[in-house]
Amino acid sequence: MKGMIFTEFLDMVGERFGLAVKDRIITAAGGAHDGAYTAVGNYDHREMVAMALELSRATALPLRDLLIAFGEHVFVMFTRHYGRFFTEASGTVDFLSRIEDYIHVEVRKLYPDAELPSFTYPPCAAGQLVMEYRSPRPMAAFAEGLVRATMKHFGDPLVLLVEDISGGAGTSARFTLAPA
């Protein structure tokens, strides 16, 4: 997993929960890097999962809610650093439908070693978008946070339905966006 995801996670923890909680989760997670991540490095996703689980324990907040909040946090960073992806899209559905065939293609140019999740787009009713997220990492709630932040960013009147299609593993989800 790209280091910038780790650094953003720790930034979010520090901002929202304080440095003491940040230090506590790093120590409790016991990762190989002891909280020393660089944005350009690559790290085992299990270190991220361990820190997220420790954050859930430390705050008594559900892991899913924390991962959704983290996705929303990272979205802000994406808009700052990769703004053209957002200005080129006409709205939420247009943007999200470009992830696999445009955005991920561009990300792979910048980070050839990135291990990205995949998105497929099953047929759906007119005016809807169905996206199926798949990853070997249990980050579907993080992806949900990104989708929710995208909806908020564009301000489109949409309703989001989220279905776990991984049997509770958090590795696959179906996102259905429909007009409100």
Domain identity same for 32 and 74: no
Tens digits of per-residue pLDDT, 131-160?
999 999 999 999 999 999 999 999 999 999
Supply the angle between the helices 63-81 and 3-17 in degrees, to the nearest 10: 110
Instruction: Select from 61, 92, 110 the last residue of a domain.
Output: 61
Q: Which residue has the tokens 């429909």?
A: 178
Domain identity same for 102 and 135: yes
Report how many domains make up the chain. Answer: 2
Domain identity same for 70 and 113: yes
**CA-closest candidate to residue 155, choices 86, 102, 101:** 86
**Which domain, by its residues, includes 54?**
3-61
Global confidence as pTM = 0.94
Q: Which residue has the tokens 């939420």?
A: 92
Strand-by-strand arrangement of the 158-164 sheet:
118-120, 129-134, 172-179, 158-164
CA angle 143, 146, 149 (to 5 degrees): 150
Instruction: Select from 42, 61, 80 the last residue of a domain.
Output: 61
Pairing of strands 158-164, 129-134: unpaired
Domain identity same for 75 and 117: yes
**CA-closest candidate to residue 76, choices 141, 146, 132:** 146
Tens digits of per-residue pLDDT, 1-39?
989 999 999 999 999 999 999 999 999 999 888 889 998
Domain identity same for 77 and 162: yes
Q: What is the CATH number of the domain that holds 86?
A: 3.90.1520.10
Domain identity same for 42 and 90: no
Domain identity same for 104 and 174: yes
Domain identity same for 172 and 137: yes
